[in-house]
Structure 1
């Protein structure tokens, strides 16, 4: 257990989750934690939707854990990073990246919720992949396998500190001939190196210039540590890609990305280079999250909230998001993609937007 990331003192548990084998295992990992019975994992007044919690944002992430049952099991089509978004085995995060979209759905705090009905989730994913059959043709997700993102609403490397849910999925995909798992991470959990994924799990290490990460990637592994881990994870049998995300445009941004790419190039083994690919995602921010951040980390908003450079886009759920202005953003994207081609020509850009 990494004490600086998690120090669980209170577990909010649905009775049905606490009664399941995985729920019992999680409770046993934290024997000194106070257990609070709750009716629903996503309706906990003292955690969600209370704006006064902004003052305890990081403390709640470190000390609180929620144990629930995942009631709706679906695999949503994606088509960009993955073919499908698998039903989540967790949501929320112990880290506190200032740009993260996940807290928007719950309000002013979002600690890890782990789902105890892992057997149901594993069964659903296995049946769904079997129904797909052989992938008929290559696409940008993968040339042969159906790719399932198993960590859309959490960071699986941190989730693995709490339960064996992620390991169970990695081991299941090991034996699925037509599918592979995928997840993005900002946390180096070297316990994963012993899991023997046999090439059936893709880890995407998120990278950005160190100066940005120190301000925006709160409670995460350093950029240097993430880069240093790539060779080890490739050697351990993972497919390893990188996420250049989010790309934040500011004075000197392109020069700092050049430095990052040079550091990446210097660190990678031939084996890592031969299988490397990247996703490039420029910043999208959110008005509600901007207001939250002003309460606990206003300095981050000096980079993230730039009205003179951004335009508003209303999301499907009615929220107001901002992104770099059309026209200018296209120029930014081309500049970074050209730089990637110059500094790391072996790194295939899977998509950039």
Structure 2
């Protein structure tokens, strides 16, 4: 998907202080013809958040609308799964529209990209935190030698980098932190990132699933084959490149489709990429509220995602009704997935599975 097909901004909602920041002025200058709408907070835009009517315009809003704000909270949150810490987000929302994405549950419906313009404050907070940590005491499932900070919990940094230089700044920051790495997952291929010179201090995780399923649920993302083809180039450019097998969606024939994907990976990437390849495995979690929203714009996806016959409800910490594959059976399916992976990609170590 070409950048203009993904992002063609004609409307910007912005907090009052945005123009006081260099990054804010940089972004505004890139879209001089966009309508500018002042809002008190990026979290409080009734026209976008909680507006059920926007379901009909889901993709149009994703492509044409941008929100700019100032990040308030700068705390690091312990993680212990994919990363040691979740860094303060420099963005929220996404131009892509994956049918299973959890962010719409929190912020409402289409949820286009929100960018935070005080990137210097975010970078300084990460640097201070890393300095206090000292060396990683011992290797663990997250990394052998460095503290890892997840940078893109609520968005996709490969797409953010099409709009401004924040991702370039973050990659540059981690070049200067000898005991820390940045990390983010992506479903886009932005080759501009190849020139960022990460020097092994940024981990990019390409999310992968069988292509026939991705064509239904990974809306407005890079094709699976394109993501696989990018792995070697990103390794050569100095990134640590892992893969996320996420989400694993169960359906009749899922094992054969995943085996085919593993074979494609094995036959496509170089020995250098294989030598450093690790993965995360995340089984699908769905949500009752998101199910209702999806029925308004993409019901075909719900035939795959909404499976009460093999799912059970679990109340989330935020009070929502999440659907997960049934206890007991989920463990068996996850074990079967790992066996398939070991058969086809024996060199790909599982860092985290859930």
Which residue pairs with 2:229 in the alignment?
A: 228
Write the distance in 1 (CA, Å) between the matches of 2:38 and 2:48: 14
Which residue pairs with 2:283 in the alignment?
A: 282
Deviations 1:151-189 (A, max 9, x none): 000000001011111110100001100000000000000
Deviations 1:208-264 (A, max 9, x none): 000110000000000000000000000000000000000000000000000000000
Write the distance in 1 (CA, Å) between the matches of 2:58 and 2:106: 15
Q: What SS does the corresponding residue of 1:213 show, helix, strand or coil? A: helix
Which residue pairs with 1:38 in the alignment?
A: 39
Which residue pairs with 2:97 in the alignment?
A: 96
Moved over 2 A (4+): none
Q: What SS does the corresponding residue of 1:4 show, helix, strand or coil? A: helix
Flag structure 1 segments of 5+ consecutive residues without an equivalent: none
Q: What SS does the corresponding residue of 1:273 show, helix, strand or coil? A: helix
Which residue pairs with 1:192 in the alignment?
A: 193
Write the distance in 2 (CA, Å) between the matches of 1:269 and 1:339: 21
Q: What SS does the corresponding residue of 1:244 show, helix, strand or coil? A: strand
Write the distance in 1 (CA, Å) between the matches of 2:88 and 2:164: 16
Write the distance in 2 (CA, Å) between the matches of 1:19 and 1:109: 28
Write the distance in 2 (CA, Å) between the matches of 1:252 and 1:91: 35
Which residue pairs with 1:183 in the alignment?
A: 184
Which residue pairs with 2:213 in the alignment?
A: 212
Deviations 1:26-62 (A, max 9, x none): 0001111111111111101101111111101111010
Which residue pairs with 2:65 in the alignment?
A: 64
Report the number of matched residues: 353
Flag structure 2 segments of 5+ consecutive residues without an equivalent: none
Alpha-carbon shift at residue 108 of structure 1 (Å): 1.4
CA contact (8 A) 1:18 1:67 kept: no
Write the distance in 1 (CA, Å) between the matches of 2:246 and 2:337: 12
1:343 to 2:344 alignment: yes
Alpha-carbon shift at residue 18 of structure 1 (Å): 2.1
Q: What SS does the corresponding residue of 1:191 show, helix, strand or coil? A: helix
Write the distance in 1 (CA, Å) between the matches of 2:96 and 2:197: 26
Write the distance in 2 (CA, Å) between the matches of 1:176 and 1:155: 23
Which residue pairs with 1:126 in the alignment?
A: 127
1:250 to 2:240 alignment: no
1:302 to 2:323 alignment: no
Which residue pairs with 1:262 in the alignment?
A: 263
Which residue pairs with 2:203 in the alignment?
A: 202
Which residue pairs with 1:160 in the alignment?
A: 161
CA contact (8 A) 1:193 1:236 kept: yes
Write the distance in 2 (CA, Å) between the matches of 1:166 and 1:230: 18
Deviations 1:281-318 (A, max 9, x none): 00000000000000000010000000010001000110
Write the distance in 2 (CA, Å) between the matches of 1:61 and 1:18: 23
1:331 to 2:332 alignment: yes
User: Bigger shift: 10-19 or 242-251?
Assistant: 10-19
Which residue pairs with 1:21 in the alignment?
A: 22
CA contact (8 A) 1:49 1:108 kept: yes
